[in-house]
Amino acid sequence: MSEGLIIEDLHLALSGKAPSRKVRSGEGPIARPVLSGVGLSVAPGEFVALVGASGSGKTMTALSVLGLLPPQIHVQSGSIRLGGTDLLQSDDRELNRIRGGRMGMLYQQPKRMFNPRMTIGSHLAEPLKLHRGLRGRQARQQALELLADAGFDDPARCARAYPHQLSGGMAQRAMLALAMAGQPELLLADEPTSALDKVLERQILALIDNQRRQHGLGVLYITHDLATVSAFADRVVVMDGGRVQESGPARTVLDTPRTAFTKDLLAASALTAAQVTSAQAPAAGTAVRIPVQPLLRTPTAGTPLAGTPAAGMPLRIPVRVAGHTPVARTPLRTTVRIPVRRPPASEAGAPAPSTILALDDVTKRFRSNGRGARPALEGVSLSLREGEILGVLGQSGSGKSTLARLLVGVETPDRGSITRTLPAGERSTGDDGTAVQLVFQEPHDAFDPRMTLRASLEAPLLRRRNCTADERRERIHTAVRDVELDPDLLDRYPGQCSGGQLQRLTIARALLLDPAVLICDEATSALDAVTQRKVLDLLLRLHSDRRLSLILISHDMNVIRYMSHRVAVLYQGALVELARTTDFFANPSHGHSKQLVAAARPDPRAAAPSGDYGLDAAAVGLVLGARTSP
């Protein structure tokens, strides 16, 4: 009981063939290693963060603890013990008692983890009956308490709800209630917040932390985002390529990363929540904090860093990792290659900036069920200047994607107008339909799975009569090299590529048509932190090389802050704020913007302004309550 979870020297392998029970001796001729000698431990009441890029073996580690590995993956050697019980030697009956009873699990996509045809309440009834022998009234009572603990202000209503009626954040909280139902001693959390925005992420983390403190729960928290968990984790385990690269107390790993991989991870997290101090050595204890932003902009008077860094020049800047005010006493030093944004014409002092896209009082309404639904977009006026990067912020349902669809021309506005003034002569296309291109959120869905990538990239070029097969080939290869990929990749199918590679290819496909404007609709939200950073830097480079204007649609404050010149905030279909990025983050004016900025602030335990802007007021209250209680 006292020793918690201990994994020792765990080796997992993928049998060479597709899932088939005919693989004779367990290992096919080619057994590819998935995990090679992974060892880690989680003591009772300890919060351990398991960090790594996608594909590093984090999820497989969690699934092997649960004993629910996919059939084609086998445990080759090693041991997994929970409170003295050897999980790998336990039979199914024993494991069924342990799963849900002594350990609970949170998943990356909570909505898919509920049976769509059962209410949340009937889900909760299962572990309550199995592991605690509760039935009927007692079970219902307990279920309501669990939901209340998970931050639902109306637990009865949640218990009656079906999974599809819950938002992503609510579903994850319901999943937490479900995981806690068996009163486990260990919680496995597999990227429970990577699909959620920062506000919700913080709520969930606070709830988990709360449960940990109340019940002495050991937490193994899997994530690719180091910055997020850094404030909560006692220890950090860094994984890459199926091996533990580094592990130790959170403060040690974060302050003095030993491996290059950890440094990369930290650099990627620096984008998501870093504060950069001045390059000139600051007086001890009086670090001058400059947001990353001014460094990337054309330096203006008053910025301590004078002179424009050359594009791509490696620059050594000290980075303070977010959320480590009490931990990282000395600033962490990391070398970051800084891509430089070409400023919009206005800031470079060039002639008056020409507007390339303009929305005038645009309203779009989708009819649903004939009843008066609120418009997806209402009275939005917005303009994009040539060579500008405009960030569009908003939570899900705020009308961001509708905006993108209107701009590309897939939808037409019900009211108002959209004007495109494309730069004359510069673009060879002359075709209005291709001057604005879109990059989608989910790269795997953006390609036809039955076409090779080459065929997918060639398709938009086939429309053009003045393009021979050789020219097409040449242009595709150029575009692919432009996004820093090997053209050999083109003969693969989408299923054989990683998310990062595919997202680069969607960008390459968009570039093939020589667009003047590229709209990225949550283009990096599905990627892990390291890959996200690379794709963002690629976009910055294209922006500066090709004079591409960008519209970045995201719910991620840090992506917006990292990238854009100006920020537009959408809230319930209306444009509530439009400001220069620095002004916006320094002094947001609308209530919703204030809340967004507060949520993106590095220290998750810092006070956030309360207020009900599309959030579950109860959960906000609960987080605040937890903070004020001793």
Q: Under the rule (CB under 8 A), what is the footprint of other proteins?
A: 20-22, 66, 68, 92-93, 96-101, 104-105, 107, 109, 112-118, 126-127, 130-131, 162, 164-165, 178, 181-182, 369-370
Measured between alpha carbons, how far is 593 from 326 in angstroms, rounded to an integer? 27
Supply the minimum distance, in Å, between the C-beta of residue 190 and other proteins: 10
> What tokens does 128 get?
């309550």
Amino acid residing at 42? V
> What tokens does 430 get?
């002359």
> What tokens does 347 get?
């800031």
Measured between alpha carbons, how far is 29 from 213 in angstroms, rounded to an integer? 48
Q: In this complex, which beta carbon is closest to other proteins, that of residue 182 or of residue 602?
A: 182
Which residue in 488, 461, 363, 468 sits closest to 417, CA to CA? 363
CB atoms within 10 A of CB 340: 20
Q: In this complex, which beta carbon is closest to other proteins, that of residue 523 or of residue 526?
A: 526
Supply the minimum distance, in Å, between the C-beta of residue 117 and other proteins: 6
Residue 97's SS3 state is helix
Burial of 462 (0-12, 13-18, 19+ CB in 10 A): exposed
CB atoms within 10 A of CB 553: 28
The full 3-state SS of 471-534, as one line of letters, equals: HHHHHHHHHHHHCCCCHHHHHCCHHHCCHHHHHHHHHHHHHHCCCCEEEEECCCCCCCHHHHHH
Q: In this complex, which beta carbon is closest to other proteins, that of residue 174 or of residue 317?
A: 174
Q: In this complex, which beta carbon is closest to other proteins, that of residue 118 or of residue 313?
A: 118
Measured between alpha carbons, how far is 41 from 38 in angstroms, rounded to an integer? 10
Residue that has been written with the tokens 């949640």 in this structure? 158
Supply the minimum distance, in Å, between the C-beta of residue 376 and other proteins: 18
Q: How many residues does the chain have?
A: 630
Supply the minimum distance, in Å, between the C-beta of residue 630 and other proteins: 34
Q: In this complex, which beta carbon is closest to other proteins, that of residue 68 or of residue 410?
A: 68
Supply the minimum distance, in Å, between the C-beta of residue 100 and other proteins: 3
Q: In this complex, which beta carbon is closest to other proteins, that of residue 280 or of residue 369?
A: 369
Q: In this complex, which beta carbon is closest to other proteins, that of residue 104 or of residue 391?
A: 104
Cα-based distances in Å from 40 to 61, 65, 253, 262, 443: 10, 11, 15, 17, 33
Supply the minimum distance, in Å, between the C-beta of residue 445 and other proteins: 17
Q: In this complex, which beta carbon is closest to other proteins, that of residue 83 or of residue 423?
A: 83
Measured between alpha carbons, how far is 608 from 604 in angstroms, rounded to an integer? 9
Supply the minimum distance, in Å, between the C-beta of residue 49 and other proteins: 21
Q: In this complex, which beta carbon is closest to other proteins, that of residue 187 or of residue 535?
A: 187
Q: In this complex, which beta carbon is closest to other proteins, that of residue 21 or of residue 24?
A: 21
Phi and psi, residue 225, nearest 5°? -110, 100
Measured between alpha carbons, how far is 515 from 282 in angstroms, rounded to an integer? 44
Q: Which residues of 287-316 are buried (b: 16+ CB within 10 A; e: fewer)?
A: beebbbbbbbbeeeeeeebeeebeeeeeee
Q: In this complex, which beta carbon is closest to other proteins, that of residue 105 or of residue 267?
A: 105
Supply the minimum distance, in Å, between the C-beta of residue 181 and other proteins: 8
Supply the minimum distance, in Å, between the C-beta of residue 21 and other proteins: 6
Supply the minimum distance, in Å, between the C-beta of residue 99 and other proteins: 4
Supply the minimum distance, in Å, between the C-beta of residue 115 and other proteins: 5
